[in-house]
Amino acid sequence: MSGVRVLVGTKKGAFLLTADGKRKKWTVEGPHFGGWEVYHVKGSPADPDRLYASQTSAWFGQIIQRSSDGGQTWETPGGEKIPDFSEGMPTGVSNKFVYDTSEETGKPLTTHKFYDGTDHPWEFKRIWHLEPSLDDPDTVYAGAEDAALFRSTDGATSWQEMAGLRGHESGSQWTPGAGGLCLHTILLDPTDRDRMYIAISAAGAFRSVDGGATWKPINRGLKSNYIPDPEAEIGHCVHRIAMNGSRPEVLFMQKHWDVMRSDDAGDTWYEVSGNLPTDFGFPIDVHAHEPDTVYVVPIKNDSEHFPPEGKLRVYRSRTGGNEWEPLTRGLPQQNCYVNVLRDAMAVDHLDPCGVYFGTTGGQVYGSSDSGDHWEAIVENLPPVLSVEVQSLP
């Protein structure tokens, strides 16, 4: 491995942080798409030069940006000029995320539940998460708010909803979390191309074993006191799910409250919060080489989204949960009241494993020794929405 590239999405643009394999000297480049919210930037595992970015705005809607040179230049797929346009509204497909209501493939769902329990129409708002295929740089999945899964097989030029998810019989009962009814997690199983997982706030986790055609809720074992039946099949505010690709049947989850683990691909879950100071939080990730080493960032509670005691601490378990140790070296241990959002933590595949996270205060911290020591790679960025990392050949 010759280096790493950290992809940072913020409230006001995207930034690329690069370093060699020592991960000591960093180059910060950006902002790309300045002034726009960039919810997520992610690289293709099949081609590290291929990046996708979700650029979004309440004013101007959703834009998908694509780079084929590692982020040096960007293009809007499908945004090319129409050569033979004659009349009528152009029917191009770029950035077009439209829910599938067709008789053939879509389920004509018209509503989900709103915060107040009333029925509410599905409205596309933004793409929270982009997950490139493990094999094909031109295939990428997108998680939307209101919750839906889209897929492109032509490099993000056109998008089709994978309507089997939203068309699940529970879809009309899904209710938004505080951040919206968002599909924020997409995990692809590297050992089984037909198996994938998604998570929705606040519907819960779902699994497909047929490449995304049909879906099953996988929330057994979750307990959430903010829903009428704490152990209901759906309604859980799952904040994030993570896996180590070498052991894909083992999943770790940071829920609204509770850190959970499944050893059977999500069929059942059990709590592994153990000695954490609080089990509320947003991100969770797994060490690249040690499938029982897990990272979380506890937050005080669901009403005070900052670290307990003003101390920014990553907690690491080397036992697959339950036994956690605080990682503090290089992190602020007083007067720190930032949050770390659900998509804002990532690990690289170098040895030793690097761990990275970004804060709502605009810092991006990195550790090149599995979390023992941390340093601020960059400070004073806009609030960080997402962090991904690429290990470069």
163, containing H or E segment: helix 163-166
Residues 195/185, Cβ–Cβ less than 8 Å: no
The least distance separating other proteins from the CB of residue 94, rounded to whole angstroms, comes to 6
The least distance separating other proteins from the CB of residue 122, rounded to whole angstroms, comes to 10
Residue of 364, 386, 305, 339 whose CA lies nearest to 127: 386
The least distance separating other proteins from the CB of residue 317, rounded to whole angstroms, comes to 38
The residue type at 241 = I
The least distance separating other proteins from the CB of residue 62, rounded to whole angstroms, comes to 7
Nearest to other proteins of 75, 267 (CB atom): 75
Nearest to other proteins of 85, 114 (CB atom): 85
The least distance separating other proteins from the CB of residue 126, rounded to whole angstroms, comes to 12
Nearest to other proteins of 96, 151 (CB atom): 96
- Longest CA–CA span in the chain (Å) reads 66
The least distance separating other proteins from the CB of residue 162, rounded to whole angstroms, comes to 17
Torsion of CA 202, 203, 207, 213, to 10 degrees: -120
Nearest to other proteins of 224, 339 (CB atom): 339
The least distance separating other proteins from the CB of residue 31, rounded to whole angstroms, comes to 11
Residue the block writes with tokens 């982020």? 71
Nearest to other proteins of 37, 279 (CB atom): 37
Please, how many CA atoms are within 13 Å of residue 30, restricted to the half-sphere of its CB? 30
* CB proximity list for 142: less than 8 A, separation 6 or greater: 54, 64, 97, 127, 129, 130, 131, 149, 150, 151, 152, 159
Question: Which residues contact other proteins (rule: CB under 8 A)?
Answer: 34-36, 57-63, 76, 78-82, 85-90, 92, 94-99, 124
Burial readout 42-80 (b: 16 or more C-beta within 10 A, e: otherwise) = bbbbeeeebbbbbbbeeeeebbbbbbbebbeebeebbee
Nearest to other proteins of 88, 228 (CB atom): 88
Nearest to other proteins of 62, 152 (CB atom): 62
Question: Alpha-carbon torsion 204, 274, 339, 342, what sign?
Answer: negative
